[in-house]
């Protein structure tokens, strides 16, 4: 079996900074809307543990950096001691199985639904005061979400949000100092406090600079209409992102920091007139800060599911420009993921929906076994089991 693993590029080991990974398959961050009132629940322990392998790398779902940034219901936070405590058993469950676990730090900016909890009456903030278009179901034409008109951030407020990222990063590193022993079968976990090894918190953080959320709203010239030091030129539009990277790296160490970017994406109306230039400038400039990895989303992520065989080399210049670990994501399957690793177009491959539907994805890739199909209508329903922890593992006779 080990000989078979060595022939599969995705299953070869990789040293990511100080982290020794056993394979190249990464659990990509995916918003799940199961953290009731902003706190991770016990079902998150099972969800992440199911997808953990010894030496595997997981990135947690987008996690809100401050109360004011809570733009969606039931997304997790990391801004308070109570959030740190809520994340601890989740982090411990992943560590107990030998996984490497990063927390994705998120501010949605204008892509917010400000109709609940403490944010009622307070508009979301952004690089602009122009609102985001409603989220529409492309199959039915039904408006699913209406986004509130945003307020343009002042330079002084930008610095305060940069500091919120710093505090959230520090909190993430604290989220895991309990001592936990985990017993698992495919769908159930039991826990007990144990003596011995003391785990740290999250192993690091990923700054969410993609998908039309706040940092991306500054990066993209189709959203950023500012005329101050944070707008206009490419260099100015990237300043906010670099301030966040710098302060987080100084707080927890650059060797524990990654960033996710989507230069080709038009998600949440956040497109750019020259995405290649934006992606390349970011990749080159990030070297100054010495961060651990850059996580880029392929241009084909904007394509339909029927077009996923049209692979591109859009990220190759960014990969060549960046000195650290380069993670590629966006519509990958087993075959083209192996090709990307073998051809050195990426160091690691992020899998989202495929990993969601197949909690034992590395094993399935190893055996070239059939994969479960994901159920799109259960992605965001908030159920603690359905579409979350109920996807089947391989049968015993397939292992």
Set out the domains of the chain in order of their start, with CATH numbers: 2-398 (3.20.20.70)
Paired tokens of 270: 């956040």
What is the torsional sign of CA 368, 374, 379, 383? negative
This prediction has a pTM of: 0.91
Catalytic status, residue 213 = yes
User: Please, what is the angle between helix 275-286 and helix 239-252, to 10°?
Assistant: 30
- Look at residue 272 in the predicted model and tell me its pLDDT: 97
Does residue 145 sit in helix, strand or coil?
strand
- Look at residue 180 in the predicted model and tell me its pLDDT: 46
pLDDT values of the chain reduced to their tens digit, one per residue, 399 residues: 444 445 899 999 999 999 999 999 999 999 999 999 999 999 999 999 999 999 999 999 999 999 999 988 899 999 999 999 999 999 999 999 999 999 999 999 999 986 444 555 688 999 999 999 987 766 677 787 888 889 999 999 999 999 999 999 999 999 865 444 555 555 555 444 344 444 469 999 999 999 999 999 999 999 999 999 999 999 999 999 999 999 999 999 999 999 999 999 999 999 999 999 999 999 999 999 999 999 999 987 554 445 444 556 789 999 999 999 999 999 999 999 999 999 999 999 999 999 999 999 999 999 999 999 999 999 999 999 999 999 999 984 444
CA distance 141 to 328: 31
CA distance 84 to 201: 9
In sequence order, the 6+-apart residues with CB closer than 8 A to the CB of 398 are 367, 369
Does residue 102 sit in helix, strand or coil?
strand
- Look at residue 134 in the predicted model and tell me its pLDDT: 87
- Look at residue 299 in the predicted model and tell me its pLDDT: 86
Q: Return the closest-CA partner of residue 107 out of 157, 54, 36.
A: 157
Which listed residue (47, 48, 213, 351) is catalytic?
A: 213
- Look at residue 116 in the predicted model and tell me its pLDDT: 45
CA distance 351 to 118: 34
Sequence-ordered strand ranges (E) for 221-380: 257-261, 293-297, 325-329, 348-351
Q: Return the closest-CA partner of residue 352 out of 377, 376, 316.
A: 376
* Cα separation values, 320 from 74, 299, 339, 341, Å: 38, 17, 17, 14
How do 189-193 and 180-184 pair as beta strands?
antiparallel
* Cα separation values, 109 from 30, 75, 219, 220, 223, Å: 18, 14, 13, 13, 12
- Look at residue 139 in the predicted model and tell me its pLDDT: 63
Query: Residue 239: how many CA atoms within 13 Å on its side-chain side?
Result: 15
């Amino acid at each position: 079996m080990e000989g078979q693993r060595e022939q599969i590029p995705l299953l070869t080991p990789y040293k990511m900074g100080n982290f020794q990974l056993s394979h190249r398959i990464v659990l990509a961050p995916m918003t799940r809307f199961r953290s009731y009132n902003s706190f991770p629940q016990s079902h998150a322990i099972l969800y992440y543990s199911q997808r953990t392998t010894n030496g595997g790398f997981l990135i947690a779902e987008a996690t809100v950096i401050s109360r004011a940034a809570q733009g969606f219901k039931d997304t997790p936070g990391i801004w308070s001691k109570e959030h740190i405590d809520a994340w601890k058993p989740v982090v411990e469950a992943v560590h107990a199985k030998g996984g490497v676990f990063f927390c994705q730090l998120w501010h949605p900016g204008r892509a917010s639904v400000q109709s609940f909890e403490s944010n009622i009456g307070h508009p979301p903030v952004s690089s602009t005061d122009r609102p985001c278009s409603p989220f529409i179901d492309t199959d039915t034409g039904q408006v699913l979400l209406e986004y509130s008109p945003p307020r343009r951030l002042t330079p002084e407020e930008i610095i305060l949000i940069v500091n919120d990222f710093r505090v959230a990063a520090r909190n993430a590193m604290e989220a895991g100092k309990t001592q936990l022993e985990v017993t698992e079968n495919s769908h159930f976990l039991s826990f007990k406090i144990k003596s011995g090894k003391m785990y740290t918190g999250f192993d690091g953080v990923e700054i969410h600079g993609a998908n039309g959320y706040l940092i991306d709203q500054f990066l993209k010239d189709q959203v950023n209409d500012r005329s101050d030091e944070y707008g206009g030129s490419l260099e100015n539009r990237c300043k906010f992102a670099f301030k966040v990277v710098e302060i987080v790296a100084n707080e927890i160490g650059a060797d524990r920091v990654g960033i996710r970017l989507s230069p080709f994406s038009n998600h949440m109306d956040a497109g750019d007139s020259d995405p290649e230039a934006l992606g390349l400038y970011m990749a080159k400039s990030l070297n100054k800060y010495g961060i651990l990895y850059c996580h880029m989303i392929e241009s084909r992520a904007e394509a339909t599911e029927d077009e996923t065989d049209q692979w591109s080399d859009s990220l190759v210049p960014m990969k060549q420009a960046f000195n650290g670990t380069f993670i590629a994501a966006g519509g990958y399957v087993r075959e083209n993921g192996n090709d990307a690793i073998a051809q050195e177009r990426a160091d690691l491959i992020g899998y989202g929906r495929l990993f969601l539907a197949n909690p034992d994805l590395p094993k399935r890739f190893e055996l070239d076994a059939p994969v479960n199909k994901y159920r799109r209508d259960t992605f965001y329903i908030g159920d603690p089991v359905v579409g979350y922890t109920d996807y089947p593992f391989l049968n015993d006779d397939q292992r």
